Amino acid sequence: MACDHAVGANRRHITRRRFLGRAGMAIVAGSLGPAWAGNTPPGQVKKRRLGKTNLMVSEIGFGGHSWEYPRVPDPAGPRKVSEDEAVEIISAALDMGVNFFDADTAISEHELPGKVLKRLDRADDVIVCVRLCHKSHGVPEDKQEIYKFIDERLKLWPMDSVDIMMVSMTTEEYWDMSYCIEALEKVKQQGKIRFTGFGSHFTPENYLEAIAKYGDAFDICSAPYNVRHRAAEEVFPVAEKHDLGIVTIKPFARGSLLKGLDLADDDKGTPRRMVAFVLRNKYVDCCLTGLHTFDQMLENFSASWTGLSPADGEALERLASAKPPGDADWLERSWVLA
Ligand SMILES: NC(=O)c1ccc[n+]([C@@H]2O[C@H](COP(=O)([O-])OP(=O)(O)OC[C@H]3O[C@@H](n4cnc5c(N)ncnc54)[C@H](OP(=O)(O)O)[C@@H]3O)[C@@H](O)[C@H]2O)c1
């Protein structure tokens, strides 16, 4: 199918900001580098069609938790990614063809990439997906939460509309998406978003129910998927029948699949292979990865051009099946393939 939605198409930018951004660009590019210090990036991240949105998205994208959690190694203890570090990480990734930015509910997941894209004057080159952690009580007040969220978060991005808004639900809560669908339609008509999605910590059974009831009302869905937690393999084909774009989360089970590994030596390359494992699934359109350093970014995104050999894939599956559950309780409970 023709891919008729270009990145940034229909998006209205804040003219004055853009003008100032362009005026400062030479300085920005000179002082903030690297990205590759005049050389070409080591490879290019491939694009996939994001279901019925027809957006062409990089098959690996930035998870918003990258900016929210204090996990950059530092002598004084773990800390959050600084703005200058984020400029370095994001500008290099953009050079590698990465264009998908996910941002969960926390303000910093919007604020930091928003500032960086403004500094780099690259708002035109990205697809932004914002997520509201939303209880979906099935009451009219559901709508107010959505209106408030999108208005507040839009102020943090250097554009006045975003591409996708997702609603995320938890398994423990009652959920009924009918009111949030109405609210999302309204913000779409207001030009604040272009497409909608749902996902999060559902069980596979929740997903199948949600897709059956609401699959035609949404454009994308998002589910956990990694070499150990593979139950989404039963959900993806059903989602595809509704032409839902598929965005995966937790390629490392929030890092717990990597715990205890010797990533500098014996287990070197394991994170890259874990991302490549996710990409090997033909239903996946974009694998989101949380990361906290330039080196993690480079390793994770390089999965797009290095791929996964059959032998490496088998070794990875053996490694993952022997892993203790770690701190990924909800994944262990519901997402290990029976
Ligand atoms: N409610 C929702 O809808 C929802 C829920 C969960 C996630 N998400 C989205 O999905 C994204 C991905 O999930 P996630 O960030 O929770 O989990 P993840 O991507 O499975 O794991 C991220 C963690 O893995 C470690 N890591 C990443 N690359 C590494 C590398 N090359 N080498 C060593 N360690 C590496 C980092 O830990 P260290 O910092 O300790 O090194 C990082 O914090 C999120 O960022 C978010 O955008 C959405």
Report whether residue 272 contacts ligand 1, using a CB cutoff of 6 Å. Answer: no
User: Could you say which architecture CATH assigns to the domain 15-39+47-334?
Assistant: Alpha-Beta Barrel (3.20)
Q: Is the CB of 250 under 6 A from ligand 1?
A: yes
- 21 has pLDDT over 90: no
Confidence of residue 328 (pLDDT cuts 50, 70, 90): confident
Instruction: Give the Å distance between the CA of 272 and the centre of ligand 1.
Output: 13
**Ligand 1 centroid to 9 CA: how many Å?**
29
Domains of the chain, by residue range, sit at: 15-39+47-334
pLDDT at 77 over 80: yes
**pLDDT tens-digit profile of 293-313?**
999 999 999 999 999 999 999
pLDDT at 186 over 50: yes
Q: Does the pLDDT at position 1 exceed 80?
A: no
Q: Tell me, what's the pLDDT at 8?
A: 53
* Mutation probe of ligand 1 site: the residue of 130, 149, 220, 288 with most atoms within 8 A of C-beta: 288
Q: Whose CA is closest to atom 27 on ligand 1?
A: 291
Residue nearest to atom 3 of ligand 1 (CA): 200
Please report, rounded to a whole number, the percentage of residues in the chain having pLDDT higher than 70.
87
pTM: 0.91
pLDDT at 172: 66
Q: Kindly state the average pLDDT of the residues 134-152.
A: 92
Tell me the pLDDT tens digit for each residue of 252-291: 999 999 998 999 999 999 999 999 999 999 999 999 999 9
Q: Return the pLDDT at 324.
A: 64
Q: Which atom of ligand 1 is nearest to the CA of 65?
A: 45
**pLDDT for 20:** 30
Residue-level pLDDT at 28: 36
Does the beta carbon of 288 lie inside 6 Å of ligand 1? yes
Compute and round to an integer the Cα radius of gyration of the chain.
19
Q: Tell me, what's the pLDDT at 175? A: 86
Find the 178 Cα to ligand 1 centroid distance in Å.
30
- Cβ(273) – ligand 1 distance below 6 Å: no
